[in-house]
Structure 1
Amino acid sequence: MKPLSFKSLKQMLDTLRTEEECRVYLETLRWNGKPVCPHCGSISEHHYKLTQNGEFKGLYKCRDCKKRFTIRQGIMFEDSNLPLRTWFHAIYLVFISKKGISSCQLARELGVTQKTAWFMLQRIRHNMKDDDIDFDDTTQVDETYIGGKTKRNKGGQGRSTKQKIPVMGLLSKGKVHTRVIPNAGKDTLQGVIYNLIKEGVTVVTDGWKGYRGLGKKYKHKVVNHSKSLFKFYLITS
């Protein structure tokens, strides 16, 4: 399954209709075809796939340490019986809410109890914390705009919007740092990078002009990709 960047909640829900489709999507994003054992860290496309009544539902057995695991282990979905589709829906709502979202509102949107919505919010917010991140290894950097539809300037890339909220994300060693920024200009983006990332580290960005010149202090690699903060968060949560 090819990883997708969703442009709307409707598109996401129309595409990921079942738990199986959500599981495969999440595995593709996080593992890219090579499952990672959360117990010993073994990475292999040859981990054993365990079936239940002849059907594989995402339960693996590590070929090295022999322990069982699923895509949920080691991330915020662990020890939760809630469908991944419900989690994805909740994450999307949290990220597009300019002023935040309460557990009562989230409960109404998802059709769950307020207690369940509160639990989900705590998990999501906890995974957005970045207190223990050290940017001394390869770091991926991206930025996006959160909010409703706005008109784009002719010839622009959407970064010049005024009514949306610009958010910058940095990913390193499986952990993510996100912060609201005043704009996506060169001074702002590179100011955050210089402040957080150790000089000489490999920095991976897209081709936005705001990242030009990073090669003076970093090993700068440029890739072309479609932005999706939702996808970015699922990979790193």
Structure 2
Amino acid sequence: MNFKSIVDLLTYFSDETKAVEYYENIRWGDEPACPHCGSVKPYKTNRGYKCREKECHKKFTVRTGTIFENSKIPFRVWFAAIYLATSSSKGVSSVQLARQVGVTQKTAWFVLHRIREMLKDKAPTMLGEKSAVEADEAYIGQKDQNKHFNKRRSADNKLLTNDGSPYKDKRAVLGVIERNGKVVLKHVPNATKENMVAFIEKHVPKGSKLYTDEFRGYASLGRTYDHATVKHALNVYVAGDVHTNTIENFWSILKRGLYGIYHSVSDKHLERYLDEFAARFNNRLLGEEGKFVKFLEDSESPLSYKRLTGRPV
């Protein structure tokens, strides 16, 4: 295929039949397999396939068990949406995607969340085996002084708005990044020492070179890591190899995307947006077609509207 733009992509997939055959080849190769029981001996029907196994005997299509399940949107439109969502460094909003591919904003919103489900790292690897790792925390949300007066902290610092509802403070996001490698992100209730250390220990093998700022939550990491800190409070940002500039650069991309493209992200879905930004960053060295194929290979991740929102369609 060797496409480098959305025009090349849609030119290659000139009709729906070609798009379906392309995805069937990526998912099954030469042997269609039943997503219900795994049998590789289905027979073709007018609308897809049917399993030959007596215990199963279920009907299915290439969409069954994937992000495309129960979707009437043509594959050509899906492929265009995947390309736009994964090739834009800061993402694409549901409003913009709706205009570009010709669907409603609600449909585009659901499509983007299904794509994020596909982008979730199914088999995360440990960082720090090839190069040093940087760890840091970021806070997502508006600054207090930029909020409406009735949503700011009260004089006695109570976290309540003037109507008595709970005040939403900034959300904490932890990140570890391998220099010239991958990034792993996690939304946590609070950036406490316990949350930080547990997150780092899960993704960075003990004994690795680890660089952080001087935040006291990282103080105990020297017991299990080759840990060094850079003192931002003293306006020191680089001391030889010790710095957190790599993760700081990533935070700038993340925040520009969340604030500039999506504007507002709820606690409920923040983790999905983090998966999206991490996937784009971790596959940045692949070409456009390489990323497209890689993501489609990971598309066996069905997501219903009810599971996404907690309510039926």
TM-score w.r.t. length of structure 1 = 0.55
Task: Report the AA paired with residue 84 of structure 2.
Answer: L
Q: Percent identity among equivalent residues?
A: 46
- 1:23-62 equivalences in 2 (<5 Å): 23-42=20-39, 44=40, 46-51=41-46, 59-62=48-51
The list of structure 1 runs, each at least 4 consecutive aligned residues, that deviate by more than 6 angstroms after superposition, is: 179-183, 195-198
Measure, in 2, the Cα distance between the counterparts of 1:89 and 1:66: 34
Cα gap change, 1:236/1:113 in structure 2, threshold over 3 Å: closer, same or farther? same
The corresponding residue for 2:10 is 13
The corresponding residue for 1:214 is none
**Post-superposition offset of 1:134:** 6.4
Higher helix fraction (1 or 2): 2
**Post-superposition offset of 1:236:** 1.6
**Post-superposition offset of 1:182:** 7.4
Deviations 1:202-234 (A, max 9, x none): xxxxxxxxxxxxxxxxxxxxxxx9861001111
Task: Report the AA paired with residue 43 of structure 2.
Answer: Y
**Post-superposition offset of 1:102:** 0.7
2:122 equivalent to 1:127: no
Cα gap change, 1:181/1:6 in structure 2, threshold over 3 Å: closer, same or farther? farther
Structure 2: 5+ residue runs without aligned partners? Answer: 126-174, 183-201, 206-285, 300-313
Conserved 8 A contact 1:6-1:228: no
The structure with higher relative contact order (CA 8 Å, sep 6+) is: 2
Cα gap change, 1:112/1:181 in structure 2, threshold over 3 Å: closer, same or farther? farther
The corresponding residue for 1:76 is 67
The corresponding residue for 2:294 is 232
Conserved 8 A contact 1:30-1:236: no
- 1:171-182 equivalences in 2 (<5 Å): none
Cα gap change, 1:31/1:180 in structure 2, threshold over 3 Å: closer, same or farther? farther
**Post-superposition offset of 1:181:** 6.8
The corresponding residue for 2:99 is 108
Conserved 8 A contact 2:119-2:298: no
TM-score w.r.t. length of structure 2 = 0.43
3-state SS of the aligned residue for 2:92?
coil
Measure, in 1, the Cα distance between the counterparts of 2:204 and 2:296: 22
Cα gap change, 1:180/1:8 in structure 2, threshold over 3 Å: closer, same or farther? farther
Measure, in 2, the Cα distance between the counterparts of 1:70 and 1:93: 25
**Post-superposition offset of 1:197:** 11
**Post-superposition offset of 1:62:** 1.2
Conserved 8 A contact 2:49-2:61: yes
Give me the CA root mean square deviation: 3.2
Deviations 1:51-79 (A, max 9, x none): 2xxxxx5x011122321111000000001
2:56 equivalent to 1:86: no
Conserved 8 A contact 1:91-1:230: yes
Q: Considering only CA atoms, is the larger Rg found in Structure 1 or Structure 2?
A: 2
Q: What is the count of residue pairs matched by the alignment?
A: 150
3-state SS of the aligned residue for 1:228?
helix
